[in-house]
Chains A and B, each alone.
Chain A
Amino acid sequence: MTPLSRRPAGPTTHIHTGPTIPAWTLHAALAVAIVGAVCSAAAGTSLETSSLVVLVLGLLAAVGHAAWRPSTIPAVAALAATGLACIVVTPTSEGWRVPVIILCVHALVRLSWFTASSRPGGRIEVEVLRHEGRTFLVLGLAGQAVGLLAVVLTALEADGALGRSGALGIAGAVALLGLAALLLLPRSRTA
């Protein structure tokens, strides 16, 4: 009998499922997606490095707070920051930025659902992520295709061959993609 001994950790209830991963890995992935989206959107701006560091640290703090009390606040803040940076920055010939921003923005929106739905101490079955991954991949590839089109149209705009109708062309392409998806994909609505 040791006086003032430490209490051993309490036992844990167990749910027998398939392979799982800890939910904190998705919180970490959300942080990476946020930093990736903001940094790639802000690349080439006249924003000072110190301001960018403060912005990124603020977003990471929001992610940390969301880990403690799950919410979509980090995602909203990151989307606002990314959008502002995209509007402020004049499009350049750096073609790498658009695919990265598309990937990061899409990832942070999807990851924010997982992080808002589960605490870092929880676990997520791999099968859930596998099913989610398929939808993510399809939508992401569609986004990348449109992004490639955007890069091409931007280059044409820069040459003066397209005028200002590039964005409208993209919008038309998106509408066509959406229409095709709605026609091809089966509905799950039941009577």
Chain B
Amino acid sequence: MTHPTTPSPAPPWRRDRSVHLMTVAGIVFATAGLLLGRPHLVAIATPLLLGAVWSTWRTPHGTVRVTTRSTPTALRTDELDTTLTLSTPPGATIVRILVASPGTTRTETMVHVDGSRDLRLTTPSVRTGTRELFTIDLVAATTDGGWHNGIHHVRPESVLVLPAAQRITGTPVSRHLRGLTGEHRSRRLGDGSELRDIAPYRTGDPLRRIDWRVTARRSPDAGHLYVRRTYASAEACVILAVDSRDDVGPEIATWGAFGALRPDQQTSLDIAREAAATIARAVIDAGDRVGLEDLGRLHTPVPLAGGKRHLRRIHHALALAQPHGAPRTRERAPQVPHGALVYLFSTFLDDSAAAIARQWHTHGHHVIAIDTLPVEDPWDLTEREHLAWRLTEITRQDRLATLTSRGITILRWTDPTSRPTLQAAARERGPRR
């Protein structure tokens, strides 16, 4: 995606103050030398006057063109980048560039441009979602600094950073299976690969199910036919419920929109996105269906489905999930399909998400709560704020303890043991069949 950013009309070239300084100083020195009969004063004026003449002689004409190139979507890595292309007229070889991106200290560099030049701009970022890139201000000048044109302002582009899904082998799925196809064995009889038993043929049984070897052994006169009966195949359904009503960083001092979030630290929503993407990938790799529910919105963003394309759709929906205004309290839990297992991603800093988890649990859904609060950093907190945080944390822990007592599994995603715990739970908890 290319963005031409040359302003229209192009700013005119202006003589720099340094040329005036050289001219005035040179004239003063030369005049004083002539009037006082001091040759060395005229000699001091020589490079100044020659420099002023040189600058006047090399007046640049033409416009400076500035374009930026970046991709509209990117997978989360450790940095974001864009390419800045500069085109300057002959003689204008110096460009002062001031680059800033949200949450970083700005960088100022004076570069040499001989006609045209591509520059790569990078900023460290581990954040996901819609991210603003670079705000660029630049001024072109001639080689001797005698002329410069106006400030070119390049507005920041936006890039949608998709969460990077980690690979985990297996996640707990629902015990209630659905459908007629899938990787799991249902309790029902039907088309499948796992043998249940051998039974006498009944009207309606498909002829291809007749086991001739068993029939020959058990009924040599072929008076009765025997068929192989198998368990039906089925699939599990998983709902990922992301609490996008709030987004908090590790630094407690920045909560409540006080202060800018650092781009090199993941927020709660970044953690939720990556956790949900990881579980969605594991579920779809296992051949099951997965849907996405956003507690910050009133409609379901992504319904249940499977497949690689659906996984990409979920990644996009996760990247677009973001808070809108102050966190709202949701009284009624979103409806989820019968028998679906629900993964709830939230910081549990208020009662809303916990209440929804309890409602789902009461309705018979198995709920796994993923705590997405980053590891807290209490820098710059006053004593009172520190006390307030401790009270908030105690309340939060009480909330999580209540959920645990009701049988809801709770995992903190930033805890390194969370993923092994999830895989262990998957091994222990197969589908009910």
A174 in contact (CB, < 8 A): yes
> Does A13 belong to the interface (CB within 8 Å)?
yes
Nearest residue (CB) in A for B95 is A128
Interface residue? A46 (CB, 8 A): no
Q: Are A1 and B378 in contact (CB under 8 A)?
A: yes
Contacts A14-B107, A131-B143 given; indicate if A86 touches B47 (C-beta within 8 A): no
In the complex, what residue of chain B is closest to A119 when comparing beta carbons? B108
* Prevailing SS type, chain B contact patch: mixed
A125: contacting residue among B30, B91, B111, CB under 8 A:
B111
User: Is A50 engaged at the interface, CB distance under 8 Å to the other chain?
Assistant: no
B93 proximity list for chain A (CB < 8 A): 128, 131
Contact check, A135 vs B21: say whether CB atoms are below 8 A apart. Answer: no
- Known contacts A113-B16, A140-B47, A177-B50: A150-B40 contact under CB 8 Å: yes
| Stretch in contact with the other chain, from A15-23, A28-36, A58-66 | A15-23
> Are A117's CB and B141's CB within 8 A?
yes
A39 contacts B by Cβ under 8 Å: no
Instruction: Assess whether A76 is interfacial by the CB under 8 Å rule.
Output: yes
Q: Give Cα distance in the complex from A15 to B82, angstroms.
A: 10
Task: List the A side residues contacting B108 at CB < 8 Å.
Answer: 23, 118-119, 121-123
In the complex, residue of chain A having the shortest beta-carbon distance to the beta carbon of B376? A1
User: Is B57 interfacial (CB-CB < 8 Å)?
Assistant: yes
Chain B residue contacts of A83, Cβ below 8 A: 25, 28-29, 32, 41
Contact between A123 and B110, CB atoms less than 8 A apart: yes
Closest to B107 in A: A13
Interface size class of B (residues with CB under 8 A): 35 or more
The residues of A that contact B40 with a CB separation of less than 8 Å are 86, 91, 97-98, 101, 147, 150-151, 154
Question: Which residues of the partner chain B approach A188 to less than 8 Å between Cβ atoms?
Answer: 58-60, 90-91
Does A164 reach chain B (CB closer than 8 Å)?
Answer: yes
Q: Please choose the segment from B4-12, B115-123, B277-285 that sits at the chain A interface, where 4 or more of its residues have CB less than 8 A away.
A: B115-123
Q: How far is the CA of A2 from the CA of B381 in the complex (A)?
A: 11
B380 touches A122 (CB 8 A): no
B54 on interface, CB distance cutoff 8 Å: yes
Stretch from B98-106, B164-172, B187-195, B201-209 forming part of the interface with A = B98-106
In contact, B104 and A91 (Cβ under 8 angstroms):
no
* Cβ contacts A152-169/B at 8 Å (1 or 0 each): 011001000000101111
* Contact residues in A for B104 (Cβ distance below 8 Å): 10-13
Tell me whether A75 and B101 are in contact (CB under 8 A). no
Query: Which residues on the B side are within 8 Å of A20 (C-beta)?
Result: 109
A169 neighbours in B (Cβ, 8 Å): 39
Q: Are A135 and B121 also in contact (CB < 8 A) when A17-B109, A105-B44, A116-B17 are?
A: no
Option from A6, A98, A128 in Cβ contact (under 8 Å) with B379: A6
B229-253 at interface with A (beta carbon < 8 Å) = 251
Write out the residue numbers on chain B whose beta carbons fall within 8 Å of the beta carbon of A72: 17-18, 21
Interface contact A181-B47, CB-CB below 8 Å: no
When C-beta atoms are compared, the residue in chain A nearest to B83 turns out to be A16
Please report the C-alpha to C-alpha distance between residue A157 and residue B40 in the assembled complex, in whole angstroms. Answer: 12
Q: Report the Cα distance A168→B119, complex, angstroms.
A: 51
In whole Å, how far is A113's beta carbon from the nearest beta carbon of chain B?
4
Residue B137 interfacial (CB < 8 Å): no
B216 within 8 A of A: no
B289 → A minimal CB distance (Å): 40
Contacts known (A86-B41, A174-B30); A16 close to B48, Cβ less than 8 A = no
Does B62 have its Cβ within 8 Å of any Cβ on chain A?
A: yes
- Name the one of B54, B121, B134, B375 contacting A139, with C-beta atoms under 8 angstroms: B54
Closest to A166 in B: B39
Q: In the complex, A11→B379 CA distance in Å? A: 17
Q: How far is the CA of A30 from the CA of B134 in the complex (A)?
A: 32
State whether B50 touches A10 (Cβ < 8 A): no
- Interface positions, chain A 53-80, Cβ under 8 Å from B, are 72, 75-76, 79
Among A17, A86, A188, the one with the most B-chain Cβ atoms within 10 Å of its Cβ is: A188
Within the complex, the shortest CB–CB distance from B334 to chain A, in Å, comes to 34
B59 to chain A, nearest CB (A): 6
CB pair B124–A146 under 8 Å, yes or no, is no
- Once A131-B143, A167-B34 are accepted as A-B contacts, the answer to whether A5 and B378 lie under 8 Å apart by CB is yes
Complex Cα distance, B16 from A134, in Å, reads 20
Please determine whether B112 and A127 come into contact, CB atoms closer than 8 angstroms: yes
Is A189 within 8 A of B59, CB to CB?
yes
Supposing A117-B141, A123-B109, A128-B94 touch, asked if A150 and B43 sit within 8 A by C-beta, the answer is yes
Interface flag for B96 (CB, 8 Å) = yes
Give every chain B residue within 8 A of A127 (Cβ-Cβ): 111-112
Chain A contacts for B57, CB-based, 8 A: 182, 185, 187
The 4 A-B residue pairs with the shortest CB-CB distance, nearest first, are: A122-B108, A150-B39, A143-B47, A188-B91
Beyond the given pairs A105-B25, A178-B53, A188-B90, 8 more chain A to chain B contacts, judged by CB atoms under 8 angstroms and listed by A's residue number, are A10-B105, A11-B123, A12-B105, A102-B43, A105-B47, A143-B46, A167-B42, A168-B34
B residues sitting closer than 8 Å to A (CB atoms) are: 16-18, 21-22, 25, 28-30, 32-34, 36-51, 53-54, 57-62, 89-91, 93-94, 96-97, 99-101, 103-112, 119-124, 134, 141, 143-145, 251, 262-264, 375-381, 386
* A and B contact pairs by CB, cutoff 8 A, 29 listed: A3-B378, A4-B379, A5-B377, A7-B379, A10-B105, A11-B105, A13-B100, A13-B134, A16-B121, A20-B109, A23-B110, A72-B17, A83-B25, A83-B29, A87-B36, A97-B40, A98-B44, A105-B47, A109-B48, A122-B110, A123-B108, A124-B109, A125-B112, A143-B43, A143-B50, A147-B46, A167-B34, A190-B90, A191-B61
